[in-house]
Amino acid sequence: MTARIIGTGSALPNRVITNDDLAKIVDTSDEWISSRTGIRSRHISDAEETAAVLAARAGQKAIENSGIQKDEVEMILVATCSAEDYFPNLGCQVQNMLGMEHTVGMDLNAACSGFLFSLNTAFAYIKAGIYKTILVIGTETLSKIVNWKDRSTCVLFGDGAGACVIRAEETGVLDFVQHSDGSMGHVLTAKASSTETPVQPETGADPIYMDGQAVFKFAVKKVPECIEEILERNHLDKEEVSCFILHQANKRIIQSVAKRLKLSEEKFPVNLEGHGNTSAASIPLLLDDLNREGRLHKGDKLILSGFGAGLTWGATLLEW
Ligand SMILES: CC(C)(COP(=O)(O)OP(=O)(O)OC[C@H]1O[C@@H](n2cnc3c(N)ncnc32)[C@H](O)[C@@H]1OP(=O)(O)O)[C@@H](O)C(=O)NCCC(=O)NCCS
């Protein structure tokens, strides 16, 4: 028995901010942002579009897409690193918004690897026979903690949510690998209000700090390594994988991973042009796009790979 993704959904804030819009608030340009990252625009939430609201919208769509009744869901597991509240957790907020009082709700924070680690956790619960049906959501409103005066980070991120329903079935998730390196945690941080860094008066939050080049080097090394690790232990040739669904941080990272694996870029779908880096939401947002466009076929072997703050990274092999 394993666990299969049986439905996907996503939700994006209404407001779209282009690179040209950003050039009006920081010293940047469309040329700089798009050539270095592939990003052209991103969705930015308003006060009402909280991480929980986006999560609930995406979750609702995933349940509809799966064809199950919401009463069949036993757990809501939400990946996030930018929730507006320390508590209650977003799993409980989504439970309340969607009227799913019989479920258990909780959150998981592994930054941009959060959705992948949550999917793996849901798979483990199902494989252990504890639950049969779990709603897994990745949701972020990083725009609310980003420092809008720091051009090196504010141009990179966007808001949104993606979700999937995963259910006990004979085929589906086949294996996963997960890694962390806490000793490198300092290269990508967002400190909670503390004495270490001044709180931003506008938002009450501390800015994100990122050593962009260190993160870039980490991603282009560790992502191919963990993909090779999962291929090897499943005796699978990389050519047998139909599609590699990577965390959408930067187009150059994705191109570099394809090159290192000696694979065609066509196997690495990208949707970050219109989303920016949506952290834990990026993989389920892309999965939902591909699913609704009919680009995933039953029996396809897919590898999902996430990487981000922590540092954290990993890969999940599944059959669609
Ligand atoms: C962030 C990133 C695009 C920066 O690209 P880079 O080529 O490394 O750029 P650098 O940081 O070396 O900066 C180069 C110059 O551009 C400037 N710059 C930074 N942001 C800029 C912006 N938005 N617009 C214009 N100039 C900018 C810098 O100030 C620097 O100027 P200087 O040479 O006068 O000092 C790149 O490092 C990257 O993609 N890293 C990975 C980030 C990521 O994906 N993080 C999330 C992982 S989950």
- pLDDT for position 141: 96
Closest residue by Cα to residue 161 from 70, 233, 98, 243? 98
- pLDDT tens track for 57-68: 999 999 999 999
Closest CA to 77 of 36, 43, 127, 115: 115
Q: Residue 77: which H helix or E strand, with range?
A: strand 75-79
Q: What mean pLDDT, rounded, does the chain reach? A: 95
> Which of 111-120, 187-196, 266-275 bottoms out in mean pLDDT, i.e. has the lowest?
187-196
For 195, the token pair is 């004495």
Q: Which of 31-45, 64-78, 138-152, 158-172 has the lowest mean pLDDT?
A: 138-152
pLDDT of residue 73: 98
CB atoms inside a 10 Å sphere around CB 129: 9
Q: Identify which of 243, 3, 246 has the alpha carbon closest to the alpha carbon of residue 135.
A: 3
Q: Which domains does the chain have, with CATH numbers?
A: 1-320 (3.40.47.10)
Predicted pLDDT of residue 191: 82
**Cα distance between residue 73 and residue 88, in whole Å:** 20
Taking the C-alpha atoms of residue 216 and residue 260, their distance in angstroms, rounded to an integer, is 14
pLDDT of residue 64: 98
CB-CB contact of 79 with 117 (8 Å): yes
Q: For the residues of 99-160, what is the DSSP string, one character each?
A: T-TTSEEEEE--GGGHHHHHHHHHHHHHHTTS-SEEEEEEEE-GGGTS-TT-HHHHTTB--E
**pLDDT of res. 311:** 98
Mutational test site, ligand 1, from 150, 184, 213, 313, max ligand atoms within 8 Å of CB:
213
Instruction: Specify the pLDDT at position 208.
Output: 86
- How many angstroms separate the alpha carbon of residue 152 from the centre of ligand 1? 5
pLDDT at residue 192 is higher than 90: no
Going by pLDDT thresholds of 50, 70 and 90, the confidence category of residue 106 is very high
The neighbour count for residue 69, using CB atoms within 10 Å, is: 9
- Distant-in-sequence, close-in-space partners of 276: CB < 8 Å, separation ≥ 6: 39, 41, 42, 155, 156, 157, 158
Q: Which residue has the higher pLDDT, 248 or 209?
A: 248
Residues near ligand 1 (Cβ within 6 A): 28, 32-33, 36-37, 112, 151-152, 155, 210, 212-213, 215-216, 249-250, 253, 277, 308
- Yes or no: say if 307 and 218 are a contact pair by the CB < 8 Å rule: yes
Q: Is 184 exposed, middle or buried (0-12, 13-18, 19+ CB in 10 A)?
A: middle
Which is nearest to 75 in space by CA: 12, 175, 3?
A: 3
Residue nearest to atom 15 of ligand 1 (CA): 152
**pLDDT(301) > 80:** yes
pLDDT average, residue stretch 153-175: 97
Does the pLDDT of residue 204 top 70, yes or no?
no
156 C-alpha to ligand 1 centroid (Å): 10
Q: Please tell me what DSSP assigns to residue 255.
A: H
List, for residues 220-278, the tens digit of each pLDDT value: 999 999 999 999 999 999 999 999 999 999 999 999 999 999 999 999 999 999 999 99
Q: What is the pLDDT of residue 199?
A: 53
Q: How do strand 75-79 and strand 133-140 relate by DSSP bridges?
A: parallel
CA 257 / ligand 1 centre spacing (Å): 19
What 3-state DSSP class applies to 177? Answer: strand
Residue 194 has pLDDT above 70, yes or no: no
**Cβ-Cβ contacts under 8 Å for 266 (sequence gap 6 or more):** none
Strands 173-180 and 312-319: antiparallel
* pTM (two decimals): 0.95
The band of 206, judged by pLDDT with boundaries at 50, 70 and 90, is low
Q: At what angle do helices 90-98 and 51-66 cross, to 10 degrees?
A: 60
Does residue 201 carry a pLDDT above 70? no
pLDDT given at position 284: 98
pLDDT tens, position by position, 21-57 = 999 999 999 999 999 999 999 999 999 999 999 999 9
Q: What percent of the chain has pLDDT over 90?
A: 91
- The stretch 89-97 carries a mean pLDDT of 98
Calculated CA dihedral for residues 90, 96, 102, 108, nearest 10 degrees? 0
Confidence at residue 207, expressed as pLDDT on a 0 to 100 scale = 77
CB of 51 closer than 8 Å to CB of 89: no
pLDDT of residue 314 exceeding 90: yes
Q: Is residue 155 over pLDDT 70?
A: yes
